[in-house]
């Protein structure tokens, strides 16, 4: 056992804090009991018994503090620390020397719809700090998960596995802004730096750079801030962009479509604003498959991503979205890989750069590469529901059940009301034979989102409740009037042993360019089709090597 890591884990799980609090509280209680109870003629053996129980409770309290954390939201299981990287990754490694999270700045401005500005300032600082050597920066989604949760800084540090936290506030009055920022060292709980700034809104970029430099100086690190060609030349354009970015992180169709309007308005003010084009690509990507036929949406993703890259080749996120269009529209997997790698070279500490390349390597059967990037993503973005939900599925495909269970449970802790997709922990329950648990989780998801989960149909089919499965499948399609991926329908037909219908739906998924179609090769649910020549032909048509992707599951079974 590595003693240093064990002691660090005791600290992260707050065992030290519980120990100190228990000793102090227990001693005070024992003293009080010894003084008060004899006054009421309570036998001395009762006093001694209570003191013995207090002493015996000490190891029990420490054991519970290892597994559970008491927060203002109740008692929750302490999440496991992200696993170490499995193999070395070419590129900049994630340094654990110093670590930091930047929380969204609280917007104290009057009037509605102001939150976007506080998030925008925090994101700019995150982006700048991510370029600092020997500094690990928690990703945007993880840091922003704590918005409006009023969490203690020690809780933030523990969940994000960071040593420092930046928080602040912003107040905007017309063209004037007042920004307060503070850097806290969470272990000892003292402030390393704090400052209040008053500026014209036109000076927001210089202000963000100034805050970043102050943070880096306080951490005794080095930073060189180069001029960013992707920044807006118009402050009106930047303000509109921030509003679009704020909405693009929402999972509803209405929010995503509204974000497109803001991004386009930003481009109307500044046509050379690369990040607005990246924003358009992002919104269309998340509209695809969930709400819009991918064959229609991804052409818009490609146009926006290409425009962003033509203006600024350093737009890492745009390269990821271009890679997705090459994979989905063209089935050009080598061309897609080149774009994923380019994005990683530009920004190796980006969730987007690591998340999508992990999914890509998993789909094409590159197991170790997929696990490497998945591990990196979990370190960069430990509180991301997207990452945890995705990791649960990939680990399941690879037969890593313990890891899949941990990731799935973490996703439910992060947000049990997730609307965009189905809880993939339920799929794990189903494949483990825990049908009641899977059904309960799917029904909870349905109650929250209003959409019938396809996974519920798969579960009933696997239980040989064929009529229930068909009824749920019908309801699932009806609850998604805009678009239903063919491979999701095919999944149900495979479990129902209706292979002709499954092949037909897979053909529709191919024609409509379902983004998840590439996963049917590694998905164990589609194993019954692996001897069907039509299935093999489809896999080759979309660029996969059947033997290679099938081997992923075979390797998992031999471990």
Q: 234-347 is classed in which CATH architecture?
A: Alpha Horseshoe (1.25)
Q: Tell me the C-alpha distance between 42 and 30, whole Å.
A: 14
What pLDDT score does 79 carry?
46
Residue 391 tokens read as 């990791």
SS3 state at 180: strand
Cross-strand partners of 170: 107, 179
Burial of 539 per CB tally in 10 Å (0-12, 13-18, 19+): buried
pLDDT, residue 70, reads 53
pLDDT at 224: 60
Give me the pLDDT at residue 161, please: 87
User: Within the chain, which residues score under 70 in pLDDT?
Assistant: 1-5, 7-14, 16, 66-97, 111-114, 223-232, 415-421, 554-559
Rounded to two decimals, what is the model's pTM?
A: 0.75
pLDDT digits (tens, 9 = 90+) for 489-525: 999 999 999 999 999 999 999 999 999 999 999 999 9
pLDDT at 86: 35
Domain boundaries, the chain: 3-77, 99-226, 234-347
The tokens describing 13, both together, are 């799980």
Q: What is the pLDDT of residue 326?
A: 98
Backbone angles phi, psi at 219, to 5 degrees: -85, 0
The pLDDT score that the predictor gives to residue 554 is 63
Amino acid 235: pLDDT: 86
506, 535 contact by CB (below 8 A): yes
- Rounded to whole angstroms, how far apart are CA atoms 403 and 407? 6
Distance CA 279, CA 255 (A): 13
DSSP assignment of 46-68: HHHHHHHHHHHHHHHHHHHHHHE
pLDDT at 107: 86
Domain topology for 99-226:
Rossmann fold (3.40.50)
pLDDT tens, position by position, 363-405: 999 999 999 999 999 888 888 888 888 899 999 999 999 999 9
């Amino acid at each position: 056992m590595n003693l240093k890591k064990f002691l660090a884990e005791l600290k992260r799980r707050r065992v030290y804090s519980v120990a100190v609090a228990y000793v102090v509280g227990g001693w005070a209680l024992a003293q009080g009991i010894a003084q008060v109870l004899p006054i009421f003629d309570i036998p001395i053996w009762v006093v001694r018994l209570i003191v013995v129980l207090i002493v015996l409770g000490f190891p029990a309290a420490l054991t519970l503090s290892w597994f559970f954390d008491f927060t203002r939201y109740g008692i929750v299981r302490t999440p496991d620390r992200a696993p170490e990287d499995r193999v070395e990754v070419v590129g900049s490694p994630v340094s654990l020397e110093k670590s930091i999270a930047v929380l969204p700045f609280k917007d104290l401005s009057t009037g509605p719809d102001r939150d976007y500005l506080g998030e925008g300032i925090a994101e700019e600082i995150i982006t700048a700090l991510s370029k600092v050597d020997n500094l690990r920066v928690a990703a945007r989604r993880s840091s922003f998960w704590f918005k409006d949760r009023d969490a203690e800084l020690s809780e933030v540090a523990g969940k994000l596995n960071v040593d420092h936290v930046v928080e602040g506030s912003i107040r905007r009055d017309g063209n004037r802004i007042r920004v307060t920022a503070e850097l806290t060292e969470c272990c000892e709980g003292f402030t390393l730096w704090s400052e209040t700034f008053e500026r014209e809104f036109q000076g927001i970029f210089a202000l963000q750079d100034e805050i970043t430099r102050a943070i880096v100086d306080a951490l005794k690190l080095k930073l060189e801030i180069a001029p960013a060609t992707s920044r807006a030349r118009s402050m009106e354009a930047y303000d509109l962009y921030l509003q679009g970015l704020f909405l693009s992180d929402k999972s509803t169709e209405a929010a995503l479509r509204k974000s497109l309007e803001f991004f386009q308005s930003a481009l109307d003010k500044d046509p050379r604003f690369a990040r607005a084009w990246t924003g358009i690509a992002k919104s269309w990507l998340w509209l695809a498959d969930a709400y819009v036929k991918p064959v229609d949406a991804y052409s818009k993703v490609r146009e926006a991503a290409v425009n962003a890259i033509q203006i600024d080749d350093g737009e890492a996120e745009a390269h990821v979205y271009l890679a997705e269009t090459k994979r989905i529209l063209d089935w050009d997997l080598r061309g897609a890989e080149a774009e994923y790698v380019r994005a990683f070279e530009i920004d190796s500490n980006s969730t987007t750069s690591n998340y999508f390349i992990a999914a890509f390597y998993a789909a094409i059967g590159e197991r170790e590469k997929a696990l490497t990037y998945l591990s990196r993503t979990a370190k960069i973005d430990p509180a991301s529901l997207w990452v945890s939900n995705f990791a649960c599925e990939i680990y399941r495909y690879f037969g890593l059940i313990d890891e899949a269970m941990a990731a799935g449970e973490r996703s439910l802790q992060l947000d049990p009301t997730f609307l965009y997709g189905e809880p993939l922990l339920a799929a794990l329950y189903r494949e483990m034979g825990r049908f009641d648990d899977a059904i309960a989780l799917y029904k909870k998801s349905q109650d929250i989102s209003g959409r019938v989960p396809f996974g519920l149909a798969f579960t009933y089919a696997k239980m040989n409740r064929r009529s229930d499965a068909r009824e749920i499948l019908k309801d699932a399609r009806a609850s998604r009037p805009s678009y239903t991926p063919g491979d999701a329908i095919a999944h149900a037909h495979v479990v129902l042993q209706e292979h002709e219908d499954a092949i037909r739906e897979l053909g529709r998924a191919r024609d409509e360019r379902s983004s998840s179609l590439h996963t049917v090769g590694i998905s164990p649910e589609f194993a019954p089709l692996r001897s069907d020549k039509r299935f093999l032909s489809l896999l080759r048509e979309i660029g996969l090597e059947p033997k290679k992707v099938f081997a992923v599951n075979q390797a998992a079974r031999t471990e």
